[in-house]
DNA sequence: ACCTTTTAGTAAATCGTTTTAGTAATTTTA
DNA sequence: TAAAATTACTAAAACGATTTACTAAAAGGT
């Protein structure tokens, strides 16, 4: 027969059994001690040295018995620290963001940080609103992925694939010049001179720099990327569809080319489909170079030659950089950029230009 | 010349300009009003009717001017509501989780909820720990994705592709029986009788039920899935690699078959590579049936015939179900399961069994 | 002219922790 | 044996909101 008169079965919807959560005060009452003592002991504070081991044990046992769980909200409010950051991505299902997030999480989890994710879907209103609501939720910093910064930073920001120089923002960037050298160099060395290109969408952070560095690398070799051989991805679907559509429209123009520089692997895969529907063989008739090296790249048919961008690493680095800024171990200085290196993975979608 | 003596430039590391955030008290002081009044007005509480429009305007203007942002922690603590849920997934980069998450987010954002994501990486310690720390962070409910429930629910849980019946847990499940009928039916109707199968890993929630329903569907047609033609995926890489390895080992056994039932599209893609390396053509010599219908499936070479699982929809439904339970609009009842239907997408990786 | 109602607010309690500043009892030191 | 130090705790003030219960002044009703 239970004797505590407090127990009114509060019928709260959806919740399975087990009454309301027990607070520190509840536990203190139950043990006949003050909340202060419990807090000191449970957090192993230096002031707890004077508490005898027996009392400590009583406290730990009581906590386990009553299934005490500290309320992180209350704690965070008091200590002014949430161990939470915000992550803003364009969209989750595009593979790119997921890989970066994976790296972010890996770095955060070892630091006991959590993160709130928000997708802006390229909508201007969300680009303005999401940082605000994340800040209201007291995130300590924000990692943006392939996302333009449309607000004035009031806390540490790290932007993966960001290229704008903004006070308070650290950009994690690929060495695009090197990437272009690898890509153009590879095609050039295989004898390709008329190279078609699929540019990224305007909303993609990398579109401009990629286009520029690719052009530079081409010029350096005495060739150029002909505007007549260039198409741009349209729409924000994460499917190969848009690469397919882009290549279709290029093919419709009747221009001739021996290689295609795709903005990413996804669009390369779409482009290959379009080429093959036209009766063109990859790589025999046209070489296709991807970018990113997503999981599917190695197993596509033909396996994609691609420029590998270390997405996990970039996310990981972004998180580590942010944590360093938060912990103050970077003593106050905000790196403008941190860089990562691309590599070229040569597979079956590119080959020497045919001799005919 | 600034005259407020309060302004000591607190040199906090990493933070760009702009002093400490302004609290309600700060704003109240600045306006010569009490925090109470501001709170009433800013939240448009019924008691604010007696506050004249002019004062209201003063408050709103002041809030904008000082860039006041309510502290969500404090608010949540007081009103005992966080508008936050936890999401537990095996891993982020496997495509499956990302698609589901996308659906989850879509449903949550319209309800002004945010979510904390955590990956358990199939580690037992994390399966036990993650729910606990999420609960400490006062999430109102948890969505688990393809994840075993290793704890006693004390708050509403929705498990996407969960199959255990647990008090307090709603499972969002595919109609696996229907899926098996579609899959086996399709292959059977094309004349296939010796069907190889790639089973999922033991840690995948769907492995058992899928295997069972596929066997049932086969039996119903007077055939059976021969254990000698069955292999299981090994390892937790989200790459086609493991499908490739599985198929390699099956081929090494020398058994003959005309079709392969893959656990998912990713492994189907790996399997196709292994088959082609053996000189077997897909679908001419062997038909391959995928599962999921990920973005890459339609653009693979050959395009994958696959059983579509509406992952976005499942995530969306999971979130909507959880929100309904939280809001109490489901008045307390906890649906054991909510179901979604598969469809078969016939493309180029399956064909009529050859007449030879 | 008195009572009631409305207007325009405010003080204080509260959410669940952490932390600062004590205190009373005991033990140690001089 | 008195002063100082240690031991074992606790009361109360934060953190930044929301909310309940007030109050004082003005307006309205009769």
Q: Beta strand B305-308 with B343-345: parallel, antiparallel or unpaired?
A: antiparallel
pLDDT exceeds 90 at position A3: no
Position B113 confidence tier, pLDDT thresholds 50, 70, 90: very high
Q: Do the Cβ atoms of A56 and A48 come closer than 8 Å?
A: yes
pLDDT digits (tens, 9 = 90+) for A39-48: 999 999 999 9
- Look at residue A162 and tell me whether its pLDDT is greater than 80: yes
pLDDT of residue A2: 34
Q: With cut-offs at 50, 70 and 90, classify the pLDDT of residue B275.
A: very high
* Per-residue pLDDT band at B20 (split at 50, 70, 90): confident
- Shortest Cα distance, chain A CAs vs residue B267, angstroms: 10
- Candidates A73, A135, A156; nearest CB to B82: A73
> How many beta carbons lie within 10 A of that of residue B76, not counting itself?
21
pLDDT at A330: 78
> What is the total residue count of chain A?
356
Q: How far is residue A278 from each of residues A69, A253, B214, B283, B298, measured CA to CA in Å?
A: 64, 13, 39, 21, 18
Report the alpha-carbon distance of residue B145 to residue B317 in Å, rounded: 12
A11 chain-B contacts, CB cut-off 8 A: 332
**Mean pLDDT of all residues belonging to chain B:** 93
Task: Give the list of residues 6+ apart from residue A307 with CB closer than 8 angstroms, or none.
Answer: A179, A182, A183, A289, A290, A291, A292, A293, A342, A343, A344, A345
Q: With bands split at pLDDT 50, 70 and 90, how would you rate the model's confidence at B89? A: very high
CA of residue B80 to C1' of nucleotide C15, angstroms: 7
Residue A19's pLDDT band, with cuts at 50, 70 and 90, is low
Mean pLDDT of B164-174: 97
Contact call for A73 and B93, based on CB within 8 A? no
Asked if A114's CB is within 8 angstroms of B91's CB, the reply is: no
The two three-digit tokens of residue A262, written as one number: 């795709």
Helices and strands (DSSP H and E) totals, chain B: 11, 12
Side-chain half-sphere of A87: how many Cα atoms within 13 Å? 28
Write out pLDDT tens, residues B209-257.
Answer: 999 999 999 999 999 999 999 999 999 999 999 999 999 999 999 999 9
How many CA within 13 A on the CB side of residue B213?
A: 17
Q: What is the tens place of the pLDDT at every residue in A225-262?
A: 999 999 999 999 999 999 999 999 999 999 999 999 99
Establish whether the CB of A71 is closer than 7 Å to any nucleic acid atom in strand C.
yes
Does the CB of B99 fall within 7 Å of any strand C atom? no
DSSP code, position A297: G
Q: What percent of chain A has pLDDT over 90?
A: 90
Spanning CA of A314 to C1' of D28, the rounded length in angstroms is: 71
Check residues A351 and B12 and name the one with the higher pLDDT. A351
Instruction: Tell me the average pLDDT across B36-44.
Output: 98
- The string of pLDDT tens digits covering residues A303-320 is 999 999 999 999 999 999
pLDDT category, A356, cuts 50, 70, 90? Answer: low
Whether B50 sits with its Cβ under 7 A from any strand C atom: the answer reads yes
Contact between chains at B117 and A109 (C-beta distance less than 8 A): no
Between CA A232 and CA A216 the distance in angstroms is 19
- Considering only CB atoms, B299 lies closest to which of A74, A92, A269, namely A269
CA of A24 vs C1' of C28, distance in Å? 35
CB B296 within 8 A of CB B99: no
Instruction: Quote the radius of gyration of chain B (alpha carbons, Å).
Output: 28
pLDDT tens, residue by residue, B73-82: 999 999 999 9
How far apart CA B68 and CA A185 sit, in angstroms, is 53
Nearest CA in chain B to A298: B240
Q: Per-residue pLDDT for A137 more than 50?
A: yes
Percent of chain B with pLDDT over 90: 90
Asked if A296 and B269 come within 8 Å (Cβ–Cβ), the reply is: yes
Query: Would you state the structure tokens that stand for residue A170, as one six-digit string?
Result: 């650290």
What is the pLDDT, as a whole number, of residue A316? 98
Interface residues, strand D, Cβ cutoff 7 Å = A 32-37, 40, 47, 49-52, 55, 74, 77-78, 80; B 21, 23-25, 35-36, 39-40, 42-43, 45, 47, 69-71, 73-75, 77-79
Band (B330; pLDDT cuts 50, 70, 90): confident
Query: Does strand C come within 7 Å of the CB of B49?
Result: yes
Residues 6+ apart with CB under 8 A from A126: A118, A119, A120
Q: What is the pLDDT of residue A280?
A: 98
Q: Is it the case that residue A8 has pLDDT exceeding 60?
A: no
How many angstroms separate the CA atoms of A117 and B102, rounded?
11
Strand partners, B86: B116, B142
Instruction: Please answer yes or no on whether A167 and B300 come within 8 Å at the CB atom.
Output: no
**A354 pLDDT band (50/70/90 cuts)?**
confident
E-strand spans in chain B?
Answer: 84-89, 114-119, 142-145, 157-160, 169-174, 195-199, 230-232, 259-261, 287-292, 305-308, 337-340, 343-345
How close does chain A come to B216, measured CA to CA in Å?
Answer: 32
Q: Residue range A283-294: average pLDDT? A: 97
pTM of the model: 0.93
Q: What percent of chain B has pLDDT over 70?
A: 94
Q: Which of B92, B108, B236 to mutate: most A Cβ within 10 Å? A: B92
pLDDT tens digits along A322-338: 999 999 887 778 999 99
């Amino acid at each position: 027969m239970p004797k505590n008169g407090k127990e009114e079965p509060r019928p709260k919807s959806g919740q399975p059994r087990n009454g309301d959560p027990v607070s520190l005060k509840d536990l203190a009452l139950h043990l006949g001690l003050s909340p202060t003592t419990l807090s000191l002991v449970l957090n192993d504070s230096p002031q707890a040295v004077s508490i005898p081991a027996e009392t400590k044990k009583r406290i730990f046992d009581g906590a386990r018995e009553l299934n005490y769980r500290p309320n992180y909200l209350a704690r965070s409010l008091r200590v002014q620290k949430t161990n939470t950051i915000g992550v803003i991505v364009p969209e989750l299902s595009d593979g790119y963001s997921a890989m970066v997030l994976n790296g972010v999480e890996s770095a955060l989890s070892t630091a006991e940080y959590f993160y709130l994710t928000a997708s802006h879907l390229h909508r201007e209103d969300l680009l303005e609103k999401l940082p605000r609501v994340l800040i209201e939720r007291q995130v300590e910093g924000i990692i943006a992925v392939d996302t333009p910064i449309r607000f004035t930073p009031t806390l540490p920001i790290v932007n993966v694939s960001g290229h704008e120089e903004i006070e308070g923002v650290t950009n994690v960037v690929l060495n695009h010049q090197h990437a272009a050298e690898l890509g153009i160099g590879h095609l050039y060395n295989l004898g390709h001179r008329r190279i078609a290109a699929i540019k990224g969408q305007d909303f993609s952070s990398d579109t401009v720099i990629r286009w520029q560095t690719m052009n530079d690398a081409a010029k350096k070799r005495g060739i150029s990327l002909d505007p007549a051989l260039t198409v741009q991805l349209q729409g924000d679907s994460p499917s190969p569809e848009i690469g397919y559509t882009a290549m279709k429209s290029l093919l419709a123009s009747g221009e001739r080319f021996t290689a295609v520089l795709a903005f990413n692997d996804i669009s390369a895969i779409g482009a290959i489909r379009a080429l093959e529907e036209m009766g063109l063989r990859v790589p025999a008739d046209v070489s296709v170079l991807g970018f990113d090296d997503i999981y599917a790249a190695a197993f596509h048919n033909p396996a994609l030659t691609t420029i590998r961008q270390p997405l996990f690493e970039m996310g990981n680095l972004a998180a580590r950089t942010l944590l360093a800024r938060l912990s103050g171990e970077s003593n106050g200085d905000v790196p403008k950029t941190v860089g990562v290196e691309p590599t070229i993975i040569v597979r079956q979608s590119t080959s020497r230009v045919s001799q005919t």
